[in-house]
Structure 1
Amino acid sequence: MDDCEDVSIDMQKLAHTLSEKLETLHHLSKDCSIYRVAEPKRCLNPSHFTPQMVSIGPFHHGKEELKPMEEHKQRYLKCFLQRTKVRMARFLSFIKERETKLRNCYAETIRNLGSDEFVAMVLVDAVFLIEFFLRFYNRNFRTDDDRIFGKPQLRKEIRHDFLLLENQLPLFILNDLFDLAKTATYEDAFYENISFVKITCFWLEDRVVKPLDKNSLEIHFSKAEHFLDLIILCLQPSQSRAQIMLKDQNIPSVKELHQAGVKFKPAAGSPKSVLDINFNQGILEIPYFKVYGNTERAYRNLLAFESMHGYKKNFNDYIIMMACLISCPKDAELLVENEVIRLGNTETVPTFFGNLDRDCTLASSRFQYSGVVTDLQAYRKLPWHKWKAALKQNYFNTPWASISVIAAVILLLLTATQTVSSLIAL
């Protein structure tokens, strides 16, 4: 019996309609690297994932609250075009040829933008970033009517939006458009010794995570998909660690370790990554760090990208480690005294890492600091280390205290000697 005879005409029509929808599904690329943050995570901290001043890319394009910045984008595009002999139509054609590749960089299909609107959006947003970095790199590129660089606070607020996961453009199109503009300029001196890699690294260096050195940025630039990817690539640990199971997840705090006699030092030399936390011979070395006003926002987007892109969770582990080490203001104070934290409010640092820690997951079998934590736990359990630390911290913590203890010991010895002498005389 034919299958069609077993179902109603209405169901056949419904099946036909659904089949047509299946045929119109867009191809999903495995090369995507720009994602939307899951709604449950966004609801907890909406301002940390949503641009406040400027939209970059398709996800937030056209939002009413971000439209005031569109005129500034167009002004930047006008200035950019005035320096090059390459015509706007050539730039648009260049982007059009790469439209499929660009759309495939996004984890969801961009349905709200047709081809022409998508291409125009990419040109305007890409040139805005290029022009912003040029003006940040060299004041000679700035104009008298530049409201963004004329108002420092506005510039700071805008640049924070550049490090949001949903507010990214692929690096390849930024780099290629910059190189295309350089092929024919009105004055060769405009772009002399300047590359997009150079101006981008100049902006990123020392802006988000310390240490994040220029050499590391330049090395990883060609492999990076966008700004967040570039930072994550630079944050990989500079050393391979033995993978061992973390049997005890109770990571001691700085205060607890201090009481056990552990000493704290900023990482020796110039560590290649802020993740390079090491413990050796009673000394815990931590690369110094600084917390800015919007550091939490940037860190949260880095964590979201690392997780969604399927990278090994090295940054996730770093946040967990630091949240456990700095669980109260006293922990932060001890690190300030030992110059691990150069600047920052000791009251806010524990809250900063504690807030971020809620987005992290500790995997005992893959935690990169398992060896460090195990060694710290073992060191802390030895009674001799506690006794020695207590003696030093309670009785030899200042020169005067040391002198007092020595004087008391001498007095005790003299008294004992006198007593023995008296007994002998009897």
Structure 2
Amino acid sequence: MAGTGPTSASDHHHDELVTSITNRLKQISETSFNYRLLPVPDKLRKTHKEAFLPKEVSIGPFYHHGKQWKAMEDHKWRYLQRFLEQTQKQLKECVEVIKKLADRARKCYLEKIDLNSDEFITMILVDGAFTIELFLSNRSPDRQTKNDVIFDKQKKWMISNVRRDMSLMENQLPFFVLDDLFNFAYGSQLGELPSLLELAYDFFGSGVNLKAERPRILDSDVKHLLDALRLWHLPAMQDAQGAGWKEAEAIPRALHLRAAGVKFRMSESNCLFDITFSEGVLYIPCLKLIPTTESFLRNVTALEHAYYKHDSYFLDYVAFLGNLINTRADAKLLIKKRIIDIENWLGHDERLAKTLAKDDEALANLFNSFGKESRFWTRNGSFCSVRQNLKAYYRSHWHWLKVRMKRNSVSKKKL
């Protein structure tokens, strides 16, 4: 009878095929495409290479072999030693935890990683322990040692540089690796300690005006730390993205808008993207420039290019400001209206900061470079609406302004 005989070779092959497909599906489910850690696109890197390179510390495989970060590499090992002492975990246990995560973590990087299995596990453990101890030391200064160069009060620029480096697109570990290591090390103290995301929020929020609500801070569905930083800046109530794509056309620069009757006001909103135009008044939240602002904006917009083109808040934002600030005069206007705060820009080099603040050329160049990429397709209905309303107002009022100017000119000639 059929089905009662011994398993045939074809049946065996069938089972192997099913197993192979099942394993492939499992790999895809464990690491979706959206979880890939991508390199910065070449066209962005070519024009602003320095904005994407670490200054002090490398995290992850992209810059792991760089000799210029060797000094901090030794310091990271000191953090690992402190991590083991504070948690009272055995090194063997920590290695086992990372070993279980290693395959999944490696698949998160799109490019081939030039590290063997042991080297990759070591890198993940050292960089992961460093990140966790860095956040805890920032939260509790009593954990800081006297010889810790990162928190040296005589070198305040160091912590700023490290904070910058930890938010670079190519300087990341998958967040699930950090979170699993943190939970393994401090799981018994989670009632006393903040979550890892809360610690990260405190660390990055020290230099900027972050005002995210607690539920969003605790959203663990983030790819890495830069992804979390982007999430924390988004509006509490995000606009539903439109069904179709629209071309975001350039708007007139700030001085031309003012000449057409547009008034500029600083919005009281804490969200950068809460830009509105009503009854001839353009309300824009204050952007506080600090030494790391340019690097952050370039990296977070590169992230949106890679992952969030359908939800591009930062891309739309920098393009909008890039349209407004085309010359030094435009920059001066927005500074005067307190829409751009340059008090702490370029921070620790006071001479350079005063020079650049005086002529505003650097500020104009910064946002003018963003404005060059202002023609792109977006689904962000809020920014599109503001752009359209501004252009309609400008065309209408500029037309009547020219008519009045012409009439005044004729009247003067008659006199």
Q: Where on the TM-score scale, by shorter chain, does this alignment land: which range?
A: 0.7 to 0.9
Change (3 A) 1:242 1:281: farther
Q: Distance in 2 between matches of 1:213 and 1:349?
A: 25
Tell me which residue corresponds to 2:63.
60
Tell me which residue corresponds to 2:182.
178
In the alignment, structure 1 residue 265 sits paired with structure 2 residue 269: no
In the alignment, structure 1 residue 255 sits paired with structure 2 residue 259: no
Q: Deviations over 1:359-384 (max 9, x none)?
A: 56422776752221221122223349
Aligned residue-pair number = 355
Structure number with larger C-alpha Rg: 1
Q: Distance in 2 between matches of 1:336 and 1:259?
A: 17
3-state DSSP of counterpart to 1:53: coil
In the alignment, structure 1 residue 374 sits paired with structure 2 residue 388: yes
Tell me which residue corresponds to 1:296.
294
3-state DSSP of counterpart to 1:165: coil
TM-score using structure 2 length: 0.77
* Structure 1 residue 90, shift from structure 2 partner: 0.9
Deviates more, 1:349-358 or 1:135-144: 349-358
Change (3 A) 1:247 1:133: closer
Alignment map for 1:202-351 (pairs within 5 Å) = 202-205=202-205, 207=207, 210=209, 212-215=210-213, 218-219=216-217, 221-237=219-235, 238-240=237-239, 249-268=249-268, 270-271=269-270, 273-312=271-310, 313-344=312-343, 345=357, 346-351=360-365
Tell me which residue corresponds to 2:44.
41
**Cα pair 1:251 1:373 within 8 Å, conserved:** yes
Structure 2: gaps spanning 5 or more residues: 1-26, 344-356, 406-415
RMSD between superposed Cα atoms in Å: 3.0
Change (3 A) 1:264 1:41: closer
Q: Distance in 1 between matches of 2:247 and 2:180?
A: 49
Change (3 A) 1:365 1:309: closer
Change (3 A) 1:84 1:372: same
Q: Deviations over 1:280-324 (max 9, x none)?
A: 111111111022223112211111111112442221111111111
* Structure 1 residue 206, shift from structure 2 partner: 5.6
Q: Distance in 2 between matches of 1:35 and 1:381?
A: 42
Tell me which residue corresponds to 2:141.
139
Change (3 A) 1:267 1:217: farther
Q: Distance in 2 between matches of 1:36 and 1:332?
A: 32
* Structure 1 residue 356, shift from structure 2 partner: 2.9
Tell me which residue corresponds to 1:126.
128
Q: Name the aligned partner's letter for residue 376 of structure 1.
A: L
In the alignment, structure 1 residue 199 sits paired with structure 2 residue 202: no
Tell me which residue corresponds to 1:22.
none
Q: Name the aligned partner's letter for residue 52 of structure 1.
A: K
TM-score using structure 1 length: 0.75
Q: Name the aligned partner's letter for residue 239 of structure 2.
A: S
In the alignment, structure 1 residue 152 sits paired with structure 2 residue 156: yes
Tell me which residue corresponds to 1:163.
167
**Cα pair 1:296 1:356 within 8 Å, conserved:** no
Alignment map for 1:73-88 (pairs within 5 Å) = 73-88=76-91
Tell me which residue corresponds to 1:90.
93
Structure 1: gaps spanning 5 or more residues: 1-26, 392-426
Change (3 A) 1:335 1:33: same
Change (3 A) 1:371 1:64: same
* Structure 1 residue 343, shift from structure 2 partner: 2.9
* Structure 1 residue 42, shift from structure 2 partner: 2.0
Tell me which residue corresponds to 1:30.
32
Deviates more, 1:294-303 or 1:152-161: 152-161
**Cα pair 1:33 1:309 within 8 Å, conserved:** no
Q: Deviations over 1:72-105 (max 9, x none)?
A: 0111111111112221111110111111221122
* Structure 1 residue 261, shift from structure 2 partner: 2.0
Change (3 A) 1:386 1:162: farther
